[in-house]
Copies of this chain bind each other. A is one copy, B any other.
């Protein structure tokens, strides 16, 4: 018993419960204390020793017996202060806290390194999918320059259902809320905040330079219509909320979260419902896609426990830690504003009266250096027409100028949606 590594958990919700149950299988570790919000809550955990439960999380981070703390409550405070206290008290930390990493990663990792402690966070990005540790170990010979990812299960569920059922965003949202796949206040998921937190940290690791959350462009899925899904399908695409990070030829990072038309030839187009997936492109490896459950009690526990076991394997043997466990980045990534990027676009326009509208669209595009790859006009019964445009690669700022022109002509036409297209 005395030789077991002592673990403290902060949080015994979905993930904490999964971690607790999974660690019972390992006889080299022992959970000696668990902090919860409400000590009196009934929990479905057999043989849980109530004496190790506390409602004061500081007891865990100050417990001298504990060597590794797993922080599983989320949010920035009190999580940040608890983790710093744990580190200052000589403990290593495993966390699933994507928001904290995205907002305070730099301070957190510097603090950990100053104390010669590690903070591991495989569970914070893409749940159970092996991602961070592979990037830091077996892919260490690579320069990764592109990431395309589906990192939010709620929005992928909604978009899949909208596609399969030809249903509206609002109808599917209500269904997702009923099933527990979306929260009562769904903003964090559907407006892309959750995916933005995750791509911020993932891009930092992959590019080996610190990416700042405030420079990550973000757009949610609330404006996507079943009509867009249908048009995309007919042209060989699926609409997905894509977290994207690329290094351009000047080495600047272009990091963003927004809906995209993904070609059906890409693996990401076939990642449905709550599944997550990450496509990494680098040299020498080429293109690798890792997919699996992005959330949930057990998948997330897999990553938390993997991190705990990695630290355990280090604890017994050396006075310093594996390079792959470090996460300090002295250099900040130079970041590109979305207005300076080049993209391919899907544009849906309703023409009130089709006379002359195609010509106006063509001229506005031409005047702004936008080439059209395809344009399809379909008559709607009341005399108006639906026009679907796919452009070639063009500048975001040029496209925004063209959109302004279209919007100024709103007696003639209405812009329904502008969605970027994956090349």
List residues of chain A with CB under 8 Å of any chain B CB.
18, 21-23, 25-26, 122, 128-130, 132-134, 137-143, 267, 270-271, 282-293, 296-299, 301-303, 305-310, 313, 317-318, 320, 322-324
Contact = CB atoms under 8 A, between A and B. Distances in A.
A161 B308 CA distance: 45
A81 B134 CA distance: 31
Copies of this subunit: 2
Contacts of A292: 285-289
A127 to B, nearest CB: 9
Contacts of A141: 22-23, 25-26, 301-302, 305-306, 308-309
Contacts of A285: 128, 292-293, 298-299, 302-303
B287 A293 contact: yes
Given A267-B291, A290-B288, A291-B289, A302 B142 contact: yes
Nearest to A132: B138
A323 B312 CA distance: 11
A127 B292 CA distance: 20
B318 A322 contact: no
Contacts of A137: 133, 137, 306, 310
Top-4 shortest CB links A-B: A141-B305, A284-B298, A288-B292, A285-B302
Nearest to A319: B317
A296 B303 contact: no
A26 B323 CA distance: 15
Contact of A324 (B139, B293, B308, B313): B313
Contact of A317 (B18, B271, B318): B318
Contacts of A289: 289-292
A26 B141 CA distance: 8
B290 A130 contact: yes
A288 B308 CA distance: 20
Contacts of A322: 313
A306 B307 CA distance: 19
A327 to B, nearest CB: 15
A132 B291 CA distance: 16
Contact of A284 (B143, B267, B301): B301
Nearest to A26: B141
12 contacts: A130-B134, A138-B306, A138-B307, A139-B302, A140-B306, A140-B309, A140-B310, A142-B302, A267-B271, A284-B297, A284-B299, A286-B292
A377 to B, nearest CB: 32
Nearest to A307: B138
Given A130-B134, A141-B22, A286 B306 contact: no
A286 B299 contact: yes
A326 to B, nearest CB: 11
Contacts of A302: 139, 141-142, 282, 284-286
Contact of A138 (B25, B133, B296): B133
A266 B291 CA distance: 12
Given A137-B306, A140-B305, A141-B306, 4 more contacts: A138-B307, A288-B291, A291-B291, A318-B318
